[in-house]
Amino acid sequence: MQSDTRIGIAVGIVMLLTPWRGGPAAETDDAKVRQSVVKILSTLRQPDPFRPWSKGSPQEATGSGVVLAGRRILTNAHMVNLASQVFIQPDKSSEKLAAAVVARAPGIDLAVLKLDDESFFNAHPALPTNPRLPDLKQTVFTYGFPTGGSEMSITRGIVSRIEYADYYLGTEGLRIQVDAAINPGNSGGPAVADGQLIGLVFSRLHQSDNIGYIIPMEEIDLFLKDIPDGRYDGKPVLDIDTQKLENDTLRARLKLDKKTTGILVRKVHHSDPSYPLRVGDVLTRIGDHVIDNAGMVHIEGDRLIKFQYLVQRQTRDGRLPLVLIRDSRELTLDLPVQPAQPRLFSSTSEKPLSYFILGPLAFTEATDNYIQYVTMMYSGGPRDGQGPSRDGSGLLTIMYQGNPMFTRYGDRPAFPGERIVIVPHPMFTHKISKGYEDPYADAVAAVNGVRIRNLPHLVEVIRDATGEYIEFTFQGRATYTIIFKRKEALDATEEILSDNGIRQQCSPDIALIWNEGKPKK
């Protein structure tokens, strides 16, 4: 959403024209809900993945939030991701109160705020919650502060669908589809049924009429239970790839009779050989729920949903009860489950960017955002008079060369902490770089022959080097290296920083590593 600065989500649903009219009880509930709804005002400074030492211009974002028990305010994570300041504003008030982010989960798009002045909550109580999923066709009201006016807006719709679907950053979860009008600024506002909070507004379907989405209380409760320590670890997941069992020949090859239904395990994202699941297993039940050949299960009577949903619902103390068939034998497992393994490429919305500069070279870790930009740049994106060919051949070339930003896109880390270190910015002009081809957008393979695991490791290798030379090898160009005299590179760094208006050689987290041992000249 544009006013929410939501990346990748378009906005613009026409508001419902029919006003809501209810009786005295409905008016009483409405007044109570209004006391619990606030406007969110954020100043966002998004990092620049191509110049990680700088940030983009401040962007003002407005959205909505709701008061929860425990003197907290719930909103969407995209409203406060990397915000430099956050304020809340009550309904029918010009007062703006400073707020701080307690915890956030960008993947499921939730965040909790606290206020410096908690006296606000004396007159603004928490909205009662209902953990039960709403019924189809149940009436829902959405509250918030969308663009088009300063007053709170209330729209009405019905629940049209409940499904387990993709959110963001590889996260899946339950979502409620409603036909209530959702506009820029509604993000983070409550969805209410019978005076109780049933979920939080977070997006809408682009190029559609009145199809909006709500994060249900079940997902919100999982998030809230995860963050007492101020950190979101993630939901338990069954970290596997599967295949449907609808093909008769495939079923015959697996020796499955007609009564047996389930889903085939095609890949297990665990390197530990003792992990109980194996490729070729057929999952047939989770708890008491039978998995059908399309990977769906029935819950609450006739409600059909992806079997992955049951992982978060059936897991107890990190264990998931399931039944599978292996080599024509039925096995019962109490499977250990945990949050999904991290992705090899993170998003700039997850944390501030780290960087390090040595001489004319800048280094950072590749992100989804950077890869998307490079893809556009090499395959015919907007021409700016600089950079590589824009006819599409450049993208094929760097993929053929083996740039891991492309050959390993979608991968999990091959070992704990693995990240791809890249040169995000064209090489700075300096006499020590004379004659070298620019490694812009290339990935670092090794420094002084040491294979690089991540950015902190690269900094450690450079910091601890003692020889006369320092040598960089780039992935995708096996015979291509850049070699500097180590002392010249160190001496050139301050000059390059000054010439390019860069205040610091590295980000604060990397500075802790770099300064552990002063490099010897």
E strand map for 92-179: 97-105, 110-115, 139-144, 153-166, 172-178
Handedness of CA 399, 401, 407, 413 (dihedral sign): negative
Rounded to the nearest angstrom, the gap between the alpha carbon of residue 190 and the centroid of all alpha carbons in its chain is: 22
The angle formed by the CA atoms of residues 6, 112 and 75, to the nearest 5 degrees, is: 40
d(CA 143, CA 64): 8
- How would you label 354-391 residue by residue, b for 16+ Cβ within 10 Å and e otherwise? bbbbbbbbbbbbbbbbbbebbbebbeeeeeeeeebebe
Helix (H) or strand (E) holding 310: helix 309-314
Q: What share of the chain is helix, strand, coil (3-state, %, to 5)?
A: 20, 35, 45
Choosing from 4, 36, 78, 346, which is the catalytic residue? 78
Choosing from 3, 36, 153, 187, which is the catalytic residue? 187
For the chain, how many residues are written?
Answer: 521
Contact 7, 349 (CB under 8 A): yes
Contact 413, 404 (CB under 8 A): no
d(CA 236, CA 338): 4
Establish whether 187 is a catalytic residue. Answer: yes
In the numeric block, the tokens 């509604």 are attached to 186
Query: Which residues have a Cβ under 8 Å from the Cβ of 71 and sit 6 or more positions away?
Result: 114, 115, 118, 121
d(CA 160, CA 179): 7
CA dihedral 15, 18, 24, 26 (to 10 degrees): -40
Query: Which residues have a Cβ under 8 Å from the Cβ of 320 and sit 6 or more positions away?
Result: 236, 238, 286, 311, 314, 334, 335, 336, 337
Crossing angle of helices 368-378 and 393-400, in 10° steps, is 130
Which of 267, 264, 279, 273 is CA-nearest to residue 239?
267
Contact 154, 194 (CB under 8 A): no
Contact 441, 420 (CB under 8 A): no
Establish whether 124 is a catalytic residue. Answer: no
Contact 344, 368 (CB under 8 A): no
Rounded alpha-carbon distances, angstroms, from residue 461 to 164, 457, 490: 45, 6, 14
Q: Are strands 196-204 and 212-216 parallel, antiparallel or unpaired?
A: antiparallel
Active site residues: 78, 109, 187
